[in-house]
Amino acid sequence: MSTRQPEHRTTTGAVPVPPPAEEGRAVRSRTRWSSAGAGASDAFDFWADVVCDTFVGVAVRADGGDTFEARIETSDVDGVGFAALTASPQRVVRTGRLIARDHEDVVLANIQLDGRARLEQNGRVAVLSEGAMAFVDSAHPYELDFAGDFSQLVVKVPRNCLPHRSLSRATAVELDSSTPGRVVADFLVGLHRLEGRDPAAALALLPHALDLLDTALGWAADGALPRSSATAFTRERVHRFVRRHALDHGLDAAAVAAGCGVSRRTLYRALAEDGETLTGLIRRVRVSHVQRMVRAHPDRPLAAVADACGFGGEAQMYRAFRAVTGTTPGAYRSG
């Protein structure tokens, strides 16, 4: 069997499709690749490189017969990647050594469209069938096994775009087609299809997709570790209220507690069980708004962005942005 390491990346065999000129930064790349365009002896080697380029550095091994077939279509909507792929049986492994070489910090939402997949991460195993979804954390080792031909949609999201902090509890947890997770999965599949026809509409819906993913992460985390249903419900209400009102300059503990119908003590306790603080939650949600705004409106002054995103001024936004992302709003905008 062939095993590829991330240093052997290449885009050979990919066919780039330029984004519409009027969309600029909305869709920065669109690529299609098919094993039909590569020789039979090279198809898997090309595929292994494409997987590393599209997602993160992994080792890929073919688990089928002599013939390997695969195709993938990728796109980027304001930094959030979508990849629809169909392929022959294979095994994908991300080890600690590969993580040390590739520090990309992303969340992968794997939606099973056809066939079956076995995902293992953080001591848990999820088996995905059609319509199911599970999360993967690029910062920790994982394994994906596909025993037969399969199709998936994988959504790749920068970690700082999802303010929910229970990622270690949310990975490799199956949200199957009988759960509300199916609604989230269907929305993402529809958004990917819409992006191919109307990139501007897809960009407008992207914030809703991120909110749904954040909510689904909460469901997965609550399912992974037994906890008080009342506390979990309160925490979800707090997250939802903050996402809806993060741009309000007067948002504070009193406003959130009143909006959620709980005491401030209950609010703090619900968040603390998940290792969160209200200040940190509001900051992360506001920073995610800044990220989208500076990309969507590259000419808008940063002071105006700070005001629109709920910050008390440009300096406060700068400190929060750097604390969450490790960089500055100006550097992020030009990146």
Q: Which band of pLDDT confidence, cut at 50, 70 and 90, is reported for residue 20?
A: very low
What is the average per-residue pLDDT within 67-85?
A: 93
In angstroms, the CA 133 to CA 107 distance is 13
Given a cut of 70, is residue 121 above it in pLDDT? yes
Quick one: which of 215, 136, 127 has its CA closest to 174?
127
In whole angstroms, give the CA distance from residue 127 to residue 190: 23
pLDDT at 224: 46
Q: Measure the CA–CA gap between 125 and 7, rounded to whole angstroms.
A: 28
Average pLDDT over residues 45-62: 93
| 128-174: pLDDT as tens digits | 999 999 999 999 999 999 989 999 999 999 988 886 656 888 999 99
Return the amino acid letter for 186.
D
Q: How confident is the model at residue 18 (pLDDT cuts 50, 70, 90)?
A: very low
DSSP secondary structure string for all residues of 122-183: TTEEEEE-TT-EEEEETTS-EEEEESS-EEEEEEEEEGGG-----HHHHBT--B-TTSTHHH
What is the tens place of the pLDDT at every residue in 200-256? 999 999 999 998 998 899 889 877 444 456 677 788 889 889 989 999 999 999 999
Pairwise CA distance, residues 302 & 314, whole Å: 6
b (16+ CB within 10 A) / e for 145-178: bbeeebbbbbbbbbbbbbbbbbbbbbbbbbbbbe
- Write down the pLDDT at residue 304: 96
Q: Is the pLDDT of residue 56 over 70?
A: yes
Question: What pLDDT, on a 0 to 100 scale, did the predictor assign at position 180?
Answer: 85
- Stronger pLDDT, 297 or 83, i.e. the higher one: 83
Global pTM value: 0.67
Radius of gyration for the alpha carbons in the chain, expressed in angstroms and rounded:
20
- What pLDDT, on a 0 to 100 scale, did the predictor assign at position 57? 94
Task: Answer yes or no: is pLDDT of 321 > 80.
Answer: yes
Q: Which pLDDT does position 25 carry in this prediction? A: 45
